[in-house]
Amino acid sequence: MKKTLLLAGVTCVFAANANAAEFMNHTINPYVGLDYVYSDANIKKEYQVKKDYNSMAINLGTMLSDYASIEAFFQQSGERSNKVSGTEKYKSKFYAYGLDAYGYMPVGCNGMKLLGSVGIANYNMEVKDKSSISRNSKYDKDRTGYRIGFGAQYDINEHIAARVMARYSYIGAKALKDLKELTAGVRYTF
């Protein structure tokens, strides 16, 4: 009886290890991505800056299974300026970095997936006041924000995918309250 239990225990350990090795080799796939991001920022009125930004974002992620991934990102906007009576008054820009968790749901056609995301990010908003009254004052603050998004992804082949997302980010900073973003980009899975 003891030999039978020992043999059954050894068999279970080897079976569990075989399944774990198959899980590790088959489903965890790293990927990189590049996105264009259009952001509509909710900025306080006292900062008379333009509220739309064009950004690029780079992403590093890992597919944990067919239905889940985790992704780190860095996003940098271009600088926006606002002219009042022909002279430059305000300049603004922001950058962000953080981590998102994604869930995937395959739909009808081959390679199409709906996706949702939740995440946390650090946002840095910089506003420079170039008016003669304030003598070049500057607002430059970091703030942690929370993100939620939904979108779709189409797997062109096993390595290349195209993705579009809509995202809402709550920041709650003095100058930058929140962001509504649209992204479009590509992913390359290794």
> Per-residue pLDDT averaged across 25-46, rounded?
86
Is the Cα dihedral 175, 177, 183, 187 positive or negative? positive
Q: pLDDT tens-digit profile of 50-68?
A: 789 999 999 999 999 889 9
Q: What is the pTM of this model?
A: 0.79
Give CA–CA dist 31/160, Å, rounded: 9
Q: How far apart are CA 59 and CA 11, in angstroms?
A: 41
Per-residue pLDDT, averaged over 110-136, amounts to 83
Domain architecture of the chain: domains with CATH: 29-189 (2.40.160.20)
Range from 84-88, 156-160, 176-180 carrying the lowest mean pLDDT:
84-88
Is a pLDDT exceeding 90 seen at residue 6? no
